[in-house]
């Protein structure tokens, strides 16, 4: 995880006016993003929902018809567009960190909060959700575990801070994020 001094934009010394939530599916990114945005009267963008609206198709349909590689390209374009705004809380798809371009965008343009939960919590939250195309496998629990194993180091690389969501309500997670940002150069964002 990056240290607070690294949050400043090098050329201007300004703090990026965006908070971006990353993490595995089921960590609560969309729910917590809405809570944070509402508390601070800033815009909220869920990149998956924005991408669906732009494409006129669901994420599952994009995966099925166009493949994951095409989806990831569209995801990068949507992330770049969302990070162009200011005073916004952004919830990303779980695989956003797979792209080096996305990781660079996050580092340069946002305060990135990694929402984390253990595998059992994630499984309980997502196993009944048929709209998770990456879990449409013979053994979705093993797939979820493997996705988590492959992505954890990338989340860690991108994260300015990490909050574990397992035993917390969305409001408690939002409280934790706010508390950890108070006194940092980032407190004015949320």
**pLDDT averaged over every residue in the chain:** 83
Nearest CA to 21 out of 158, 120, 182, 167 is that of 158
pLDDT above 80 for 24? yes
Pick from 38, 9, 17, 14: which is nearest to 87 by CA?
A: 17
CATH number at residue 59: 3.40.50.300
At 116, the pLDDT band (50, 70, 90 cuts) reads: very high
Inside any domain, residue 185: no
Least confident of 12-21, 31-40, 157-166, 169-178: 12-21
Within a domain: 116: yes
| Domain boundaries, position 147 | 4-177
pLDDT confidence of residue 134: 62
The mean per-residue pLDDT over the stretch 150-171 comes to 93
Which stretch of DSSP H or E encloses residue 164? strand 161-164
Model-wide pTM > 0.75 = yes
Query: Closest Cα partner for 59 from 120, 121, 1, 134?
Result: 134
Residue 16 pLDDT: 46
pLDDT at 120 over 90: no
CA–CA dist 69, 99 (Å, integer): 11
Over residues 3-30, mean pLDDT: 63
Q: Provide the CB-side half-sphere exposure for 18 (13 A, CA).
A: 24
- Measure Cα distances from 1 to 54, 61, 107, 154, 160 in Å: 32, 34, 11, 10, 5
In a domain, 187, yes or no: no
Q: Residue 147 — very low, low, confident or very high, per pLDDT cuts 50/70/90? A: confident
Q: Is residue 186 part of a domain?
A: no
> Domain for residue 32, yes or no?
yes
Nearest-angstrom CA–CA distance, 17 and 175: 19
**Distance from the Cα of residue 128 to its chain's centroid:** 21
Q: Are 48 and 93 in contact (CB under 8 A)?
A: yes
In a domain, 184, yes or no: no
Name the strand (E) or helix (H) holding 22: strand 18-22
Domain count, the chain: 1
- Whether 182 is in a domain gets the answer no
How would you class 13 by CB atoms within 10 Å of its CB: exposed for 0-12, middle for 13-18, buried for 19 or more?
A: exposed
Round to whole Å and give the CA distance between 139 and 156. 26
Within-domain flag for 136: yes
The percent of residues in the chain predicted with pLDDT above 90, rounded, is 56
């Amino acid at each position: 995880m990056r240290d607070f001094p690294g949050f400043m934009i090098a050329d201007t010394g300004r703090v990026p006016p965006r908070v971006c939530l990353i993490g595995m599916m089921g960590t609560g990114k969309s729910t917590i993003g809405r809570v944070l945005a509402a508390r601070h009267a800033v815009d909220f963008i869920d990149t998956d929902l924005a991408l669906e609206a732009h494409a006129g198709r669901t994420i599952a349909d994009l995966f099925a018809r166009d493949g994951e590689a095409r989806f990831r390209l569209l995801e990068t374009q949507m992330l770049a567009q969302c990070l162009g705004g200011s005073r916004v809380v952004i919830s990303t798809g779980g695989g956003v960190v797979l792209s080096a371009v996305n990781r660079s965008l996050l580092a340069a343009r946002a305060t990135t909060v990694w929402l984390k939960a253990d595998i059992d919590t994630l499984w309980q939250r997502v196993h009944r959700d048929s709209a998770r195309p990456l879990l449409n496998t013979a053994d979705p629990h093993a797939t979820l575990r493997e996705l988590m194993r492959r992505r954890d180091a990338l989340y860690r690389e991108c994260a300015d801070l990490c909050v574990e969501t397992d035993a917390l309500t969305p409001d408690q997670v939002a409280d934790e994020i706010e508390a950890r940002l108070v006194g940092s150069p980032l407190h004015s964002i949320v």
